[in-house]
Amino acid sequence: MKPFAESCEQNRAPILAAIRPRLADATALLEIGSGTGQHAVYFAPELPHLSWQPSDLAEHHPGIRAWLDEAALSNVLAPLALDVSDPGAWPRTVYDAVFTANTVHIMGEGEVAALFAGVGRVLAGGGVFLVYGPFNYDGRYTSDSNARFDDWLKQRDPRSGIKDMAWLKGLAAAADLVLEADIAMPANNRTLVWRRA
């Protein structure tokens, strides 16, 4: 039985609208935290010029494969086992695009730091790092619903929670990533577009 995330169904069309223009010249994309695999099978047919590489912890691979097997897409590769905190687990391939959705607020700060460092290693010069999710600005929530969501996240896992943009910009700078766009999305989310220098 395939896993299913309702949030993927709700956010996939707005995310595609935000990322499509930024991926026009890309040829190879690494998706970090592919989860159920729903985003991969929705985005890849809409971006046929891209080779889409899903990745996640190995425990999520059976669900991802179930979606990929059913979709039978020629431009989606088998999922990679990737723990962002393990430098040796990162692929040696260089990508001109990296995408991740709804992962940064799930991760602890150490994992997010490892994520940005890893992207800095695998992203080609001029490549784009696309990050979707909720973010804080100047230590403030952008909505009451995000504040409630953050409380729920921290009750579930004290290491998780909505991250602040100022902190993320510091991690990005260390990885030679510059914020090119910060796009408002439905449900108080954002799509951040980072460009590798």
User: Is-contact 127 156, C-beta < 8 A?
Assistant: no
The number of domains in the chain is: 2
**80 and 20 both lie in a single domain:** yes
Give the span between the Cα atoms of 167 and 170, in whole angstroms: 5
Shared domain for 75 and 142, answered yes or no, is no
The verdict on 7 and 86 lying in the same domain is yes
CA–CA dist 139, 60 (Å, integer):
33
pLDDT digits (tens, 9 = 90+) for 109-166: 999 999 999 999 999 999 999 999 999 999 999 999 999 999 999 999 999 999 999 9
Q: What is the phi-psi region of residue 132: left when phi exceeds 0, alpha when psi lies from -120 to 50, beta otherwise?
A: beta
- Model confidence over 80-116: pLDDT tens digits? 999 999 999 999 999 999 999 999 999 999 999 999 9
Residue at 184 is within a domain: yes
User: In terms of domains, do 143 and 65 share one?
Assistant: no
Rounded (to 5) percent helix, strand, coil in the chain? 45, 25, 30
In a domain, 58, yes or no: yes
Residue 18 within a domain: yes
Q: What are the angstrom distances between the C-alpha of 119 and each of 70, 113, 124?
A: 30, 10, 9
- Cα distance between residue 163 and residue 112, in whole Å: 9
* Cβ-based neighbours of 131, under 8 Å, separated by 6 or more: 99, 100, 101, 104, 191, 192, 194
The reply to whether 43 falls in a domain is yes
Determine the pLDDT at residue 96. Answer: 97
**Residue 108 falls within a domain, yes or no?**
no
Residue 86 sits in the same domain as residue 147? no
- What percent of the chain is modeled with pLDDT above 90? 97
Residue 123 lies in a domain: no
Q: Could you list the residue range(s) of the whole structural domain that residue 162 is in?
A: 138-197
- Domain-ending residue, one of 93, 113, 128: 93
pLDDT at 12: 95
Residue 124: its H or E element: strand 123-133
Residue 16 belongs to a domain: yes
Task: For residues 97 and 128, give the distance between their C-alpha atoms in angstroms, rounded to a whole number.
Answer: 5
